[in-house]
A and B are shown apart, each in its own frame.
Chain A
């Protein structure tokens, strides 16, 4: 063999030998068993410590609280959502105790008014709703049904109420257009409010010959229902909670 070739062959043989040896020695044992990864890694991830015990674990010892909550508004909440991580307490109940939240901060995190929350979610304005008092003064945290049935709809339908409050329909009660059973305030999904079904309903105030209720003091715009708006119903164009919007 030519001199250059033989020298180079030796050199490359050494280099490749080193690479092959490295491959054999250094690739982790379980690599490739389940896929292109180290199979042990799955076990390592699975062995990480648990911080939240989960509802079932709390119910094992605190069945009475669980019973108290059942059927109430907070029935679907996890205990640890308010009381913090409880796995160490479930392991050794006397060693650590979960916290009991005090004050208003935790409750208003969910229930403080925010327009981005879905409509129908119960919310209060912390500034005006019993200011400075802890929420637990009137609401039992595990079964937080309000002490009195809410009078107005704005408690759960805050965004609609606030939108309407600055509109031409401000002085109309919600019940003017929506008939609501008392059941809806106690168990919202069991009984739904009604919605107007046809143009004639709006005509009760807005038809040329209509008699608006006495609380309406402004001039009510009148339209000829037979020609105005073609075949559409009124709320397909006019937002009833803020009808000025065009």
Chain B
């Protein structure tokens, strides 16, 4: 899988910074400017050293370092949640069969409970949309409170087709949100999950603007960006995300893209797969089967 590291371009920029051009009496003016650039870039050069060092042992150190921020009690208490977990063995993706979704909203409810998402109807890590394609060519899309309490019945006379579509963060392989974060507060992990660092995010909301899928929101209390994490805290313990666990019809399937025999592999073999807004080349990892062309 292609891994894109933000620091890859710093090599060429480093050489640019050392070129100080100009007459001798102006050297001292360009040098300070060059130093500013150098200082910025040598700091950023840290990460190019880190690129090749993603070994199995690395995550175990993760909770040891970082004197900056308060570590939650759970990890400080008994065990390191990442102990024994090797992210290099995984590349997570989700598959959704639109024909199986019954719009019950149990996934939305489970997600809000599992992840302490505020209950107001403006904050969703996952939600359900209902599409009603009418005979006159119009399509009506609704998502009452994200579908958390199901959907009301609908007038049937004019229906051509109607179905439910679950939506969530697509954990793109080429995430535009990670690209635009000015400080490096959102990132893609080695196992393919896009996470937010709530102690580092400055709340500029550029990532929310950059997400084509509307998957992000600003948490009203922490004032940082938030979104679906594929329930990462469950993944490292060998569980599946809460929404996948709850789905009564197995419309959501979760797994490793690289695993040869798994429900996800079968899904990819037996269905024609589509992703949302493929033309934007975000390389989403939520794979839809039976996705209607009206879904936007």
Touch test A–B (CB under 8 Å): yes
CB-CB under 8 A for A45 and B248, given A1-B28, A35-B6, A36-B47 = no
Q: In the docked arrangement, what's the CA distance between A20 and B34, Å?
A: 13
Q: Mark A144-178, 1 if CB is under 8 A from B, else 0.
A: 00000000000000010011000000000000000
Q: Which of B82, B106, B151 contacts A81 (CB 8 A)?
A: B106
Q: Are A55 and B72 within 8 A (Cβ)?
A: no
Stretch in B63-71, B118-126, B205-213 touching the partner: B63-71
CB-CB under 8 A for A35 and B151, given A43-B75, A115-B159 = no
Chain B residue at minimal CB-CB distance from A27: B43
Q: Are A23 and B43 within 8 A (Cβ)?
A: yes
Q: Which 3 A-B pairs have the closest CB atoms?
A: A40-B66, A32-B46, A47-B75
**Inside 8 A of B61's CB, which chain A residues have their CB?**
30, 33, 39
CB-CB under 8 A for A44 and B71, given A5-B25, A23-B43 = yes
Q: Are B184 and A37 within 8 A (Cβ)?
A: yes
Q: Which of B29, B54, B242, B249 contacts A8 (CB 8 A)?
A: B29
Assess whether B277 is interfacial by the CB under 8 Å rule.
no
Q: In the docked arrangement, what's the CA distance between A84 and B7, Å?
A: 44
- The interface centre, meaning the residue of A16, A19, A37, A46 with most chain B CB atoms within 10 A of its CB, is A46
Chain B residue at minimal CB-CB distance from A121: B102
**Inside 8 A of B71's CB, which chain A residues have their CB?**
40, 43-44, 47
Q: Are B114 and A51 within 8 A (Cβ)?
A: yes
Q: 8 Å CB contacts to A: which residues of B220-269?
A: 229, 232-234, 236-237, 239-240, 242, 245-250
Q: Are A36 and B153 within 8 A (Cβ)?
A: no
Q: Could you tell me the distance in whole angstroms from the C-beta of A55 to the nearest C-beta in chain B?
A: 7
Assess whether A13 is interfacial by the CB under 8 Å rule.
yes
CB-CB under 8 A for A46 and B66, given A54-B245, A115-B162, A118-B102 = no
Assess whether A70 is interfacial by the CB under 8 Å rule.
no
Assess whether A218 is interfacial by the CB under 8 Å rule.
no
Assess whether B56 is interfacial by the CB under 8 Å rule.
no
Q: In the docked arrangement, what's the CA distance between A84 and B106, Å?
A: 10
Q: Are A117 and B102 within 8 A (Cβ)?
A: yes
**Inside 8 A of A114's CB, which chain B residues have their CB?**
102-103, 150-151, 153-154
Assess whether B99 is interfacial by the CB under 8 Å rule.
yes
Q: Are B245 and A109 within 8 A (Cβ)?
A: no
Assess whether B188 is interfacial by the CB under 8 Å rule.
yes
CB-CB under 8 A for A34 and B233, given A28-B68, A44-B69, A44-B199 = no
CB-CB under 8 A for A46 and B65, given A109-B105, A114-B151, A121-B249 = no
8 additional contacts, CB 8 Å, given A39-B66, A114-B151, A117-B164? A13-B32, A40-B63, A42-B62, A43-B80, A44-B75, A54-B245, A85-B113, A109-B105
Q: Are A9 and B154 within 8 A (Cβ)?
A: no
Q: In the docked arrangement, what's the CA distance between A81 and B197, Å?
A: 30
Q: Could you tell me the distance in whole angstroms from the C-beta of A56 to the nearest C-beta in chain B?
A: 8
Q: In the docked arrangement, what's the CA distance between A117 and B159, Å?
A: 13
Q: 8 Å CB contacts to A: which residues of B88-108?
A: 99-106
CB-CB under 8 A for A28 and B66, given A51-B113, A81-B106 = yes
Assess whether B294 is interfacial by the CB under 8 Å rule.
no
CB-CB under 8 A for A76 and B43, given A30-B65, A44-B72, A52-B114 = no
Q: Which of A8, A33, A121, A163 contacts B58 (CB 8 A)?
A: A33
Assess whether B167 is interfacial by the CB under 8 Å rule.
no
CB-CB under 8 A for A52 and B242, given A46-B82, A47-B71, A85-B114 = yes
Q: Are A19 and B102 within 8 A (Cβ)?
A: no
**Inside 8 A of A31's CB, which chain B residues have their CB?**
46-47, 184
**Inside 8 A of A36's CB, which chain B residues have their CB?**
5-7, 44, 47, 184, 187
Assess whether B50 is interfacial by the CB under 8 Å rule.
yes
Q: Could you tell me the distance in whole angstroms from the C-beta of A235 to the nearest C-beta in chain B?
A: 16
Q: Are B233 and A50 within 8 A (Cβ)?
A: yes
Q: Are A115 and B153 within 8 A (Cβ)?
A: yes
Q: In the docked arrangement, what's the CA distance between A23 and B28, Å?
A: 22
**Inside 8 A of A34's CB, which chain B residues have their CB?**
50, 54, 58, 62, 189-190
Assess whether A232 is interfacial by the CB under 8 Å rule.
no
- The interface centre, meaning the residue of A5, A12, A28, A47 with most chain B CB atoms within 10 A of its CB, is A47
Q: In the docked arrangement, what's the CA distance between A121 and B99, Å?
A: 11
Assess whether A38 is interfacial by the CB under 8 Å rule.
yes
- The interface centre, meaning the residue of A20, A32, A35 with most chain B CB atoms within 10 A of its CB, is A35
A-B contact pairs, 23 of them (CB 8 A): A19-B36, A27-B43, A28-B68, A34-B189, A34-B190, A35-B187, A37-B186, A38-B197, A40-B66, A42-B189, A43-B59, A44-B71, A50-B234, A50-B237, A77-B248, A78-B245, A81-B106, A84-B113, A85-B110, A109-B106, A116-B151, A116-B164, A118-B100
Chain A residue at minimal CB-CB distance from B242: A52
Assess whether B132 is interfacial by the CB under 8 Å rule.
yes
